[in-house]
Amino acid sequence: MTFPVYEAPLPSAVIFDLDGTLVDSAPDLLPATNHALSIIGRAPVSLEALRGMVGGGLRQMINLGAQASGGPVEENTLDRLLAAGMVHYADHISDNTTIYEGVIENLEALAAANVPMAVCTNKTAHFARRLIDDLRLTPYFKAVLGGDSLAVRKPDGEHILTAIRDAGANPADAVMVGDSITDVDAARNANVPVVLVSFGYTVTPARELGADAVIDHFQELPQALASLKE
């Protein structure tokens, strides 16, 4: 295993999105979403379609899935579908989820460089923590903030700023790493630079979302972070 090299000046903290950034969780989010849709007789959505629905939490995924498979549903129906989807997801949260190539090496290198890290995701906090724990990533992060950790969530900048502060860092030199327009907007609202991965969950290509840098593999992250200081 070859570890990347991070050289000074280093960010005060690196805040990561979770789904589509650190991990490919769509293979487990898909059956949970389709299970919920099946309750009202809707056809399943495809894995490719689901990848464009991730980012706002399971409720949004089920809502978008409903819209794509026959039209929107009433809020009380959506509540019922969400409850069913959450039970299914809880039973299968890490069955087929994988960590993207290069993630572990970069987390190890950042930790060795004493750069604090946190996760800022719109996933429900207890699901985020459980998934991170199942994948043995917990020791790398000083904080994990989910979509229900605060009164706001991404794209509100306070979500990222709180993650930075909870990691014990100064927002002035922190960096966000994500995969979607939600992450870009949240970073802009927090006045924090943002790096996007090109392989995550977004309908619009990452390079068209206005990030400060885009990487195609985690091995490019050290160079991307360095470019933000130039």
**CATH assignment at residue 110:** 3.40.50.1000
**Same domain for 200 and 105:** yes
Domain that includes residue 61, residue range: 26-91
Instruction: Please indicate, yes or no, whether residues 85 and 101 belong to a single structural domain of this protein.
Output: no
Residue 36 lies in a domain: yes
Q: Does any domain span residue 126?
A: yes
Q: Does 73 map to a domain?
A: yes
Q: Are residues 77 and 103 in the same domain?
A: no
Point out the domain boundary residue: 46, 75, 91: 91
Among the three residues 91, 120, 148, which one is the final residue of a domain in this structure?
Answer: 91
**Do 198 and 110 belong together in one domain?**
yes
Residues 220 and 160 in one domain: yes
Q: What is the pLDDT of residue 1?
A: 57
Whether 133 and 32 share a structural domain: no
The answer to whether residue 171 sits within a structural domain is: yes
The verdict on 68 and 164 lying in the same domain is: no
Q: Which of 60, 44, 52 is nearest to 26 (CA)?
A: 52
17 counts as catalytic: yes
Nearest CA to 56 out of 144, 127, 155 is that of 155
Q: Do 83 and 107 have their domain in common?
A: no
The enclosing domain of 83 has a CATH number of 1.10.150.240
Residues 83 and 109 in one domain: no
Mark whether 108 and 81 lie in a shared domain.
no
62-69 own/partner pairs: CB under 8 Å, 24+ apart: 62/33, 62/36, 62/37, 65/33, 65/34, 65/36, 65/37, 66/37, 66/40, 66/42, 69/37, 69/42, 69/43, 69/44, 69/45
Residue 6 in domain? no
- Of 17, 24, 166, 185, the active-site residue reads 17
| 1 in any annotated domain | no
Tens digit of pLDDT per residue, the chain (230 long)? 567 889 889 999 999 999 999 999 999 999 999 999 999 999 999 998 988 888 777 888 899 999 998 888 899 999 999 999 999 999 999 999 999 999 999 999 999 999 999 999 999 999 999 999 999 999 999 999 999 999 999 999 999 999 999 999 999 999 999 999 999 999 999 999 999 999 999 989 999 999 999 999 999 999 999 999 86
Q: Please say which residue of 91, 116, 134 terminates a domain.
A: 91
* Residue 2: inside a domain: no
Q: What is the pLDDT of residue 158?
A: 98
Q: What is the 3-state secondary structure (H, E, C) of the chain?
A: CCCCCCCCCCCCCEEECCECCCEECHHHHHHHHHHHHHCCCCCCCCHHHHHCCCCCCHHHHHHHHHHHCCCCCCHHHHHHHHHHHHHHHHHCCCCCCEECCCHHHHHHHHHHCCCCEEEECCCCHHHHHHHHHHCCCHHHCCEEECCCCCCCCCCCHHHHHHHHHHCCCCHHHCEEEECCHHHHHHHHHHCCCEEEECCCCCCCCHHHCCCCEEECCHHHHHHHHHHCCC
Amino acid at 189: N
The reply to whether 7 falls in a domain is no
Tokens representing 157?
């900048």
Domain count, the chain: 2
Distance CA 40, CA 29 (A): 18
Together in a domain, 131 and 40 = no
> Is there a single domain that holds both residue 51 and residue 105?
no
